[in-house]
Amino acid sequence: MPSATFPAQCHQPIGVFDSGVGGLSVLRALRAQLPHEHFIYVADSAYAPYGEKGSAFVAARCLAIARELVEDHGAKALVIACNTATAAGADALRARWPQWPIVGIEPALKPAAARTRTQCVGVLATRGTLQSARFARLLAAQPPQVRFVLQPCDGLADAIEQEAILPDGGLHAGRTDALIARYLAALGPLGPQPGAIDTLVLGCTHYPLAEAAWRRHAGLKAKADEGENESADAVALLEPGPPVARHARRLLAAAGLLNPGPAPGTVRLLATGSAAALLAAAQRLNLAAAESAPGTA
């Protein structure tokens, strides 16, 4: 159990968890930033989605999963790959294990405020995130001249989850697309013109898994067609994975916990629900190589 004398070693794994497959978007960024690290990813899919559950319930799940990751798997650090779980449980986890490097996620409001030219930012997130005290504090800390338009996306994380784990998306293949179109339309005009939203914050780790749909409905060019500079887009799309991965690297370096390699790291996948579904989703993201060991948390 982490404490002031917690014997974490650089070769020990990093624990990552989310309510389902959404955190795989963060794991993808972590793997790119930390190629020598070993990861244990827990999908709490038996209790998904978190975004439509109460904060006390989500906080209790965070404590249970964190305890398993440190006591059963010896995780040297923890990444909470879920905005709702960060809002509900990060403070409690840091109070319980003050010496343990813990990285949470929050919607990218500060980068969005720095990037916007029209002073209008759209924030798409779960209702649980948008109604949290943590998000209220984050929003209050932003420049007053920037207008943030908040859009709760009920049902979207679950639709993306089901589409990711079922062959060809199952019955959810069109539901994700329809919900994204609806919620973007609800934000109002997008573009570089005065008064329009020119920066979109994807405030849930599930949302980047549907990046192609976001780009299409926001009028952006397809990722595969991007050439020289993404800033050429009239609307910016901000996701949490890359900055979280960079922050995790900084924390590990400061604590002397970076795995020096040279061997590539491994991924172990655990789930409280269907491990096979998690593995299928990870394989679609090229995250589940031969070393992956699906199991049940």
Beta-ladder partners of 200: 122, 237
Question: What whole-number distance in Å separates Cα of residue 220 and Cα of residue 35?
Answer: 30
Name the DSSP class of 171.
G
To 5 degrees, how large is the angle CA 112–CA 113–CA 116? 75
DSSP per residue over 101-156, as a string?
-EE-----HHHHHHH-SSSEEEEEE-HHHHTSHHHHHHHHTS-TTSEEEEEE-TTH
Strands (E) located in 44-112: 77-80, 102-103
Establish whether 10 is a catalytic residue.
no
Q: What is the DSSP letter of 220?
A: P
Asked about 82 being catalytic, the answer comes back as yes
Catalytic residue among 62, 82, 120, 153: 82
d(CA 183, CA 74): 41
| Amino acid symbol at 5 | T
Report the distance separating Cα 203 and Cα 239, nearest Å.
7
Query: Are 273 and 249 spatial neighbours (Cβ–Cβ below 8 Å)?
Result: no
User: Which of 62, 120, 153, 204 is labelled catalytic?
Assistant: 204
Paired with 190 in beta bridges are: 197
Contact in structure between 269 and 6 (CB atoms under 8 Å): no
Q: Which residues are catalytic?
A: 82, 204
